[in-house]
Amino acid sequence: MTEFIARYMDDLGIPPLILSRGYAGGDEAKMLQRHLSQTSAKIGVGANRTAAAAEMFERYGCMDLGSSLYFEALLSPFKLRPHLRTEMIGIVILDDGMQHWSLFRNAELVMINGLSPWGNNHLIPRGSLREPPDALGRAHIGVIHHADLVSSTGLKNIVSTMQKINPSLSIFFSRLSPMFLFDVKDPLSKLPLTMVINKVILCVSAIGFPDAFIRRVMEIGPLHVDRLDFSDHHSIKPNDVNKIIKILTLLHSRFGTNATVLVTEKDYDRDPEILREIDDFQIMVLCSSLQIMPFEDRTEEDFRMVLNKLVLSI
């Protein structure tokens, strides 16, 4: 979602600054940097996001929010126009920061995992929630992610709960759509998803919710999917490589063919070097893109318009 919003602002000619904590080596920040390298987006990384922002403002400056071009871009988002061609920062996106109370923000967007919306209803460390559900009362936009993997009844229940907490919340649905693959030894390659069809696959991941990754892979049509899950942000060590090779050897014995390892982009950007060291097996990266799904009478265009109104209210 951070990338989605950054690309949209870049398309409007409003250069975004993304502030990321850079947790556990900054795998997410590295992925954003790689994806957004051809845009005006800038990324500030550091646990002290106030300091990171100050440094970026000092380096690039800020756009004039009273600029007619700035408001024209937001008021007429579907009008094609050249970029404003400025290095100055026009908007700041605080990545994964609703609970980061020390920074003032003008708008809150909350992503809800449709496959596990409220975790076990307990806060960290007893559960997975960083704030109680009633924190949705502070939000302006709520997005139910992985909505295409959730039953209509399940979605209705999630929407109902969100509306009870915050009746004015603008609610949208999103999904992560697989786009292509690349080999870890050739990150510039773009390989078709069909390479997975009828293949034996081992999904290796260290992400917050690996079940969604597994289900996406299974939708493509492999012969068999096995999995090896690590904790979120886990860095692969030599001992982990041995585990991967052991499972691949067992899969080869069972199916009589070499299995292909699939990892997420986040996993690749965290450990690109060690993944390239596994010589005897093919390791592929699944590249995906967030999409806003139609929900009742709301579309991606409506989502963009809500964003525009929030920015204009600054």
The three-state (H, E, C) secondary structure of 80-124, written as one string? CCCCCCCCCECEEEECCCCCCCCCCCCCCEEEEECCCCCCCCCEC
Residue 97 to residue 107: CA distance in whole angstroms:
11
Residue 159 to residue 117: CA distance in whole angstroms:
10
> Domain ranges in the chain?
1-105, 176-288
Residue 58 to residue 62: CA distance in whole angstroms:
9
Q: Which whole number is the average pLDDT over 241-268? A: 94
pTM: 0.89
Fold of 176-288: Rossmann fold (3.40.50)
Q: Which helix (H) or strand (E) holds 311?
A: helix 300-312
What confidence score (pLDDT) does residue 224 get? Answer: 97
Beta pairing class for 170-183 and 186-191: antiparallel
Q: What percent of the chain has pLDDT over 70?
A: 92
Q: Does 142 score more than 60 pLDDT?
A: yes
CB burial readout 283-295, b (16+ within 10 A) else e: bbbbbbebebbeb
What are the C-alpha distances in Å from 138 to residues 105, 134, 170, 175? Answer: 11, 8, 12, 24
Give the tens place of pLDDT for each residue, 202-237.
Answer: 999 999 889 999 999 999 999 999 999 999 889 999
More confident residue, 170 or 73: 170
Q: Which whole number is the average pLDDT over 136-141? A: 95
SS (H, E, C) 168-226: CCEEEEEEEEEEEEEECCEEEEEECHHHHCCCEEEEEECCCCHHHHHHHHHHHCCCEEE
What confidence score (pLDDT) does residue 96 get? Answer: 83
Q: Which whole number is the average pLDDT over 155-160? A: 97
Residue 184 to residue 189: CA distance in whole angstroms:
9
Can you read off the two tokens belonging to residue 69? 């071009």
Residue 74 to residue 14: CA distance in whole angstroms:
9
Q: Does 78 score more than 80 pLDDT?
A: no
Q: Does 73 score more than 80 pLDDT?
A: no
Closest to 182 (Cα-Cα) out of 107, 268, 285: 285
What confidence score (pLDDT) does residue 264 get? Answer: 95
Residue 245 to residue 202: CA distance in whole angstroms:
10
27-35 and 2-12 helices, crossing angle to 10°: 30
Residue 6 to residue 14: CA distance in whole angstroms:
9
pLDDT bucket at 176, cuts 50 / 70 / 90? very high
What confidence score (pLDDT) does residue 12 get? Answer: 86
Confirm if 144 and 150 have CB atoms less than 8 A apart.
yes
